[in-house]
Amino acid sequence: MRLDDEQESQNIEDRRGFRVSKGVAGGGIGGIAVILIALFFGIDPSAILQDNLQTNVEPEPSGQSQQAGARDEGREFVARVLGSTEQTWGEIFQRAGRNYTQPKLVLFSNQVQSACGFAQAAAGPFYCGNDQKVYIDLAFFRELHDRFKAPGDFAQAYVIAHEVGHHVQNLLGIMDKVQTRQRRAAEREGNALSVRLELQADCLAGIWASFANRERKILEPGDVEEGLNAAAQIGDDTIQKRAQGYVVPEGFTHGSSQQRVSWFRRGIQTGDLKQCDTFAAANVS
């Protein structure tokens, strides 16, 4: 990726190195509960959008935190990608006569307290609708490379843009509508709704990439392939196969590899928001 022209976002909240204990934080939901909620209900009523990518993040040895003055490439990368999404979504909302409220992005290490509850890094990056914040432990990018076999900077950017896609859904009231329907739905239908919401976030990630590339040429050869590979590696069938050796389609909450690739690609190739209506599309079951 070429990020030289992307402004660094001012909306990074750096909570790395903070110790959070459940006792101090006043309870909340544990990492395991978050994972179970993601697996069985898709999305819980407290509006957490968990991306279901359980990882094996090792606790950071103490004293290894960022040294003053040293360049923090991980943070800089995230800030530029987030800044790029702010630019793109700001313009898209403005053209539609609406105001884009920028989300905050919280960098944390190991565990974090959000308005959606307490979460462990092992549960993967997530978006919390209650505080309009994206949460990510940068160690996840190493997992993405090593365990999910999804290397490359555009693969990482896709993860951030997908979470920002959930924020866009939140601003547009889509998240709310889906959650209201899910509360009345049986588990299977709830999961199917979750899949549509997640695939739409993939498509919205593609819309960002398309716009930013058209205006500021952010994509380099191989980037799109990196992103599509990442979408494939985190498809529900691929994750299930890796974790348990077999696939249970009724348990999908994010979409199959093929679906995720297809919706992300659709966003990148068309740059057209109208193409991201996963709720109307008959081919999403």
CB 202 within 8 A of CB 217: no
Residues 6+ apart with CB under 8 A from 152: 222, 223, 226, 227, 229, 230
- Any contact of residue 202 with Zn ion (CB under 5 A)? no
State the residue number with the nearest CB to Zn ion.
Answer: 51
Among 35, 42, 43, 51, binds Zn ion (CB under 5 A): 51
Give min distance, CB of 51 to Zn ion, in A.
4
Give the range of 93-101, 150-158, 200-208, 210-218 binding Zn ion by CB under 5 A: 200-208
Residues 58-87 that bind Zn ion (CB under 5 A): none
Looking at beta carbons only, is 9 or 194 nearer to Zn ion? 194
CB 163 within 8 A of CB 51: yes
Query: Is residue 27 exposed (0-12), middle (13-18) or buried (19+ Cβ within 10 Å)?
Result: exposed
**Residue whose tokens read 């058209």:** 214
CA atoms within 13 A on the CB side of 209: 33
Give min distance, CB of 201 to Zn ion, in A.
5
Residues 180-199 that bind Zn ion (CB under 5 A): 198
Site for Zn ion (CB under 5 A): how many residues?
3
Q: Where are the beta strands (DSSP E) in 64-145?
A: 104-108, 111-114, 117-120, 126-128, 133-136
- Any contact of residue 236 with Zn ion (CB under 5 A)? no
Give min distance, CB of 124 to Zn ion, in A.
9
Chain residues that interact with Zn ion, rule: CB under 5 A: 51, 198, 201
